[in-house]
Amino acid sequence: MPNKEEIIVAALKGAAAGIPFAGGLIAELGDLFLNPIEKRKENWRNEIIAVLDEINKKYHRSPEEVANDPKFVSALLNATSIAVHNHQEEKILALKNALINVGNPDAVNFDKMYQFLHFVDELSVTHITVLANLEKYSGQFSKIEELGKLYSQFILVSKLEIERLVFRSIIEDLNSRFLIQTGDLEEYPEFASKKDILESSGSKVRPLEITELGKTFLNFIGDFEP
């Protein structure tokens, strides 16, 4: 009976036939499983074996079944490309948890899966940590109307050391990906718009909040403790 490594290698070779111009990545994946010389590749190889065991335990899916799941193979190809270019344990854990979730027959749809893996690649560990803290302490930020006050309260409760302008850029990055909504949060004075904003007397301030997409993303990468 083939072992887990042989099953995955066979699945990847089969997938390669239908992927134009994928030779470089497939060759890299072949080295990952067949000649795990570099420490980083060796570590990721072991993580994938742990992923297969966890999927079998949680969802009762054998390695053979998972290796023949096109969605899982696609996720594995993307996650491997990200993993071999990263050294941070937090990102490796996020990728590992993502693959376990892809192994769930009721996992998020393919478009979201693809998008979330790219979020792991594009966003820094600090970005994701900020997002996780914004969700964890959301009740403490719900009535804050100014970015400066949000920053001060965030640093107080999260105990993170983030520069003021770095925090601002992270908030913008998360907002641009619809992981959060900044609502009516006022900018730092030096960046505030010069335009007059008219508000009706009966309007309510919309607070910063985590979107459903943001919550689903955090759940997808699991165990990302702030």
> Tens digit of pLDDT for each residue in 93-146?
999 999 999 999 887 788 899 999 999 999 999 999 999 999 998 888 877 888
How many C-beta neighbours within 10 Å does residue 23 have?
A: 10
CB 59 within 8 A of CB 105: yes
Could you give the angle at which helices 164-176 and 125-136 cross, rounded to 10 degrees? 80
pLDDT tens sequence across 54-87: 999 999 998 888 888 888 989 998 998 898 888 8
Residue 116 near residue 217 (C-beta atoms within 8 A): yes
Q: Is the pTM of the predicted complex or chain greater than 0.75?
A: yes
Identify the residue whose tokens are 């403490």: 140
Burial of residue 19 (number of CB atoms within 10 Å: 0-12, 13-18, 19+): middle
